[in-house]
Structure 1
Amino acid sequence: MSVDMNGSRRFLIEERFNITGRGTVVVIGETTELPVGKTLRATITRPDSSKVTTEAFKEWFIRREQQPLEKEAYLLRGIEKSEIPDGSLVEIEVVK
């Protein structure tokens, strides 16, 4: 679910987890036109309205259950899972 706030789209983070040696991954429930393989900027807005910005890279999150489930995921550098509480939103932008 995306939230339109002040003209920018922020996405509710549906899942988050760490990948040892790589970073923290956040999963959103929508598909965007953002590029794979490019450096992106992610701004996390926490439920207390505090924000943190970090580098992000788009990947695909595929879970094999009864039917495959494919969602967009973003690998974030320099932030730990513990810094992204439940209810946080993420805004992803292309770095120019």
Structure 2
Amino acid sequence: MEIKTIIGISAGVLTAVSSLPQIIKVLKDKKAQAVSPVMYFVLLVGNALWCYYGILLDELPITITNAFSVVCDIIMIVLNYRFSKKTK
């Protein structure tokens, strides 16, 4: 495997898992007041576009890592809605 492929996959995986600590924290604390839903909507659109870009290029690493990010963004938006409403 070429070094550029390893770097690309590593970057994709790290980016994809970057929101997992926030998701875990919100689930644990059941609080989402400090989380910006606008940021996650923007991130969702950006990751969805990256996913589509990966499909257009037929690049599975881009598509898979960004599809995972899209799922994480949706989870965070749902958690934000669920736990922000509960605490108001």
- Is the TM-score greater than 0.5? no
Please state which structure has a larger fraction of its residues in helix.
Answer: 2
TM-score between the two structures when normalised by the length of structure 2: 0.20
Larger radius of gyration: 2
**Whose strand proportion is higher, 1 or 2?**
1
Higher relative contact order, structure no. (Cα contacts within 8 Å, ≥ 6 residues apart)? 2
Q: TM-score, normalised by structure 1?
A: 0.19
